[in-house]
Amino acid sequence: MLSHQEISDRFEIQDLLYRYSELIDGKEIDALREEVFTEDAFIDYSVFGGSKGDLDATLAFLNKVMTPSMFPNTQHLVANMQIRISGDQATGRIMCLNPQEMLIGEDKQVFFCGLWYIDEYRRTSAGWRICRREEEKSWVHNTPDFMDL
């Protein structure tokens, strides 16, 4: 049986994951620093051609690519949250379905990515935060011809 603390921790981590998606899809990239990641976080988006590195490098990358002129609409839908808590540390394997609308010239193309987030979390004075995130590719569909995913 789960303790009240573990139930509370799970809900807080789930809310953190939902907030990540909300901020990414809302193009509120800089808010990830205060609300989602630890200052020493390591993030690896390289499986889909993204950045791999510390929080500063990640935010710079996201601010460069997650713009309305490149990706006017995205949805990061998270599910199947497999979370394991051990005191003030936790791990997670989180499913994500990510449809994205991309502008290619004057045309729009919608493509889909299926992935898993492989996460590590840490309880901080501000609440649970992601201290490590790695994307694990599952599948892609309808990606633009110039993308090698």
Which has the closest alpha carbon to 80: 62, 67, 93, 63? 93
Dihedral sign computed on CA atoms, order 69, 71, 75, 76: negative
Domains of the chain (ranges plus CATH)? 4-141 (3.10.450.50)
Q: Give the pTM.
A: 0.95
Which amino acid, 91? T
Q: Is the per-residue pLDDT at 149 higher than 90?
A: no
Each residue's pLDDT tens digit, 28-49: 999 999 999 999 999 999 999 9
